[in-house]
Structure 1
Amino acid sequence: MTEIERKFLFKNTDFLKGIEGKRITQGYLSTDPERTVRVRIKSDQGFLTIKGKSNQSGLSRYEWEKEITIQEAEQLLQLCLPGVIDKTRYEVVIENHTWEIDIFHGENNGLLLAEIELQSEEEYFLKPEWLVKEVTGDVRYYNSYISAQPFSKW
């Protein structure tokens, strides 16, 4: 499956009041530029995800994901490279799109990212007023990058 997404920075979190977030812990078994292999625990669910290299625009890349047991995810996290990511994710629906809003903790504290998945690279979407700057395709904002190069050390 091809994943098409755009990423943005934001500053103000006031729009999240009253929305419950889910804590996410994730680590990487591989951060090879050609493919990343991620293990994620989201609340009480585990996932194994493989992502291919992004296309030239940074908008699209292959993604494969499978739900695994929480026990399997916990075991695989022990094998991950240093730099496990800790964040809280909120979902905000605007028109017919769901924005994934990530507030990072730990060594990535202060990083605020909003992502939207699209059906095509040209698909129209309403840009909320709280967006600051688009960072789609900037590898510094890939989770695999910040797991090794934390935001606090930039």
Structure 2
Amino acid sequence: MGAALHQLMTLLGYDKYGVVGTDLGWIVGHFMAAQEPDNVIGYFSDFWLIQPNATDLERRAQNQTTEEETLYIDSIQDFITNHSNHLELHSQVPLAIGQVFSDTPVGFAGWVWHLVHWFNDGYEYTIDTLITNTLLLWIPGTFGNIRAYRELIPVRISHYVNHMLPAP
């Protein structure tokens, strides 16, 4: 995906460009930044997840974490618990869920609405924004979007974490 996006930017005449990625775009953006360092001049993501390790969780259980650490650990644990369900669904049965999503834009809008409201920290999206976001994903076809989860999860993530990220 990153190579295709780089090729698109080149065809559009951009030798230098910035990348923004979230969700699976987090992975694609990191690959692009690593594989095209002469072209990617900056990378932004709001999706950097650093999971607490066993020591962090033990300190949290014993009330030895700071307020900020507690908030972070609790929010990450909540994210992992509540977000991984759709990640598993998308990566294990993308055709089945893609067919369901493709049946009606109204049904797919319900899925988008649920995700947006779960992630939004209280921000109120307008109905026009929700409809626009839904149609931007639905019109090209939902299966291709969801198929990316199966292609990138979990092999690519483990490869990325083990081979491309700098050591902590």
Indicate the TM-score class for this superposition, using the shorter chain for normalisation.
under 0.3
Q: More helix per residue: 1 or 2? A: 2
Higher-Rg structure is 2
Q: TM-score, normalised by structure 1?
A: 0.23
